[in-house]
């Protein structure tokens, strides 16, 4: 690694933040807006996509509403709404819900099939996923919340849908993730502290290109500084680091069709 690469200082766009107080308090942090903004300042993160915990612990409708209220005064935070096969749990149809999403400056979605007790396969979630694909809205999915088969079917059935996998585990050359990345150009991986694999970023860049990776801290469950160090000290070019730190995510959001 050259001295120039060692001295790289990027501008970060965080894709993996979960706002909101859990039912069982975390011992080390109170993950409210004040703490989140302080953490972003500490780590020099300029922008972030934010999800809300109440989407899981209460309902998508409630969590999405709380998210919009809590981040309304912050220009650096962008909302990620949770969706289920029927939308967000509100009465309007799926098309109307997507239209409302656009009006509220949302550019990404997330789904939790295990938590929501549904399947992501087309027979169950096909309608909503097709609408997301038509708008090219990036869909966030947690690696521990979906089977390899379900993920494969979504990627194959909706090739124009960008899918970003969160919280891929520390398993070296992941025997599910790597084959899926080879098969599907629309799959992206969030590089977070959960994926703290020795030379893992370097290997992913070599195999699939830096264009397939996005940056995330995993707030509040893990120490976000790990993600910063992982990328800072990765043995890749500065241009690759810039893409991972923010460029790839910015491009995906710019490609959303309004």
All domains of the chain in start order, with CATH: 3-254 (3.20.20.140)
| Residue-wise pLDDT tens digits, 38-77 | 999 999 999 999 999 999 999 999 999 999 999 998 999 9
- Supply the DSSP string of 95-144, one letter for each residue: HHHHHHHHHTT---EE--HHHHT---SHHHHHHHHHHHHHHT--EEEEGG
Share of the chain above pLDDT 70, in %: 88
pLDDT of residue 175: 85
Q: Is the pLDDT of residue 111 over 70?
A: yes
Report whether 93 contacts 105 (CB < 8 A).
no
pLDDT of residue 166: 96
pLDDT of residue 253: 95
Q: Comparing C-alpha atoms, which of 88, 41, 43, 47 is closest to residue 64?
A: 88
Q: Comparing C-alpha atoms, which of 88, 3, 74 is closest to residue 41?
A: 74
pLDDT of residue 1: 56
Q: Is the pLDDT of residue 80 over 90?
A: yes
pLDDT of residue 171: 62
Read off the tokens for 175. Answer: 């025997």
CA pair distance 134, 250, nearest whole angstrom? 19
| Residue-wise pLDDT tens digits, 224-236 | 999 999 999 999 9
CA pair distance 252, 27, nearest whole angstrom? 35
Q: Residue 59: beta bridge partners? A: none
pLDDT of residue 172: 57
In the chain, the N- to C-terminal Cα span, in Å, equals 41
| Residue-wise pLDDT tens digits, 120-134 | 888 899 989 998 999
Q: Is the pLDDT of residue 173 over 70?
A: no
pLDDT of residue 185: 98
Strands ordered across the beta sheet of 163-166: 81-82, 109-110, 139-142, 163-166, 187-191, 213-215
**pTM over the 0.85 mark:** yes
Q: Is the pLDDT of residue 191 over 90?
A: yes
The stretch 14-24 carries a mean pLDDT of 91
Q: Is the pLDDT of residue 154 over 60?
A: yes
Residue found by looking up tokens 């089977």 in the block: 147
The stretch 90-118 carries a mean pLDDT of 76
Alpha helices in the chain (DSSP H): 3-6, 33-43, 54-57, 60-71, 94-103, 113-116, 122-135, 148-157, 177-183, 200-208, 224-232, 238-242, 248-254
Q: What is the mean pLDDT of the chain?
A: 89
Buried b (16+ CB within 10 A) or exposed e, 27-39: eeeebebeebbeb
Q: Residue 78: beta bridge partners? A: 49
Give the pLDDT band (50/70/90) at residue 151: very high
To the nearest 10 degrees (0 to 180), the angle between helices 94-103 and 122-135 is 40
pLDDT of residue 76: 95
């Amino acid at each position: 690694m050259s001295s120039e690469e060692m001295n790289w200082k990027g501008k970060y766009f965080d894709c993996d933040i979960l706002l909101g107080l859990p039912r069982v308090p975390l011992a080390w942090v109170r993950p409210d807006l004040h703490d989140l903004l302080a953490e972003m300042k500490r780590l020099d993160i300029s922008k972030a996509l934010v999800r809300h915990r109440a989407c899981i612990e209460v309902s998508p409708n409630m969590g999405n509403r709380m998210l919009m209220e809590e981040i309304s005064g912050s220009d650096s935070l962008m909302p990620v709404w949770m969706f289920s096969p029927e939308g967000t749990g509100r009465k309007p149809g799926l098309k109307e819900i997507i239209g409302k999403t656009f009006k509220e400056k949302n550019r990404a979605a997330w789904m939790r099939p295990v938590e929501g007790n549904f399947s992501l396969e087309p027979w169950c979630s096909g309608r909503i996923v097709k609408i997301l694909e038509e708008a090219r809205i990036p869909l966030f999915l947690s690696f521990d919340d979906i089977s390899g088969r379900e993920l494969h079917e979504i990627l194959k059935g909706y090739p124009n849908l960008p899918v970003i996998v969160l919280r891929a585990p520390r398993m070296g050359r992941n025997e599910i993730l790597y084959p899926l990345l080879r098969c599907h150009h629309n799959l992206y991986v969030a590089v977070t502290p959960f994926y703290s694999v020795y030379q893992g970023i370097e290997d992913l860049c070599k195999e699939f290109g830096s264009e397939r990776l996005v940056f995330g801290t995993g707030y509040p469950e893990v120490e976000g500084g790990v993600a910063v160090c992982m990328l800072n000290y990765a043995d890749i070019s500065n241009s690759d680091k810039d893409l991972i730190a923010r460029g790839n995510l910015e491009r995906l959001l710019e490609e959303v069709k309004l």
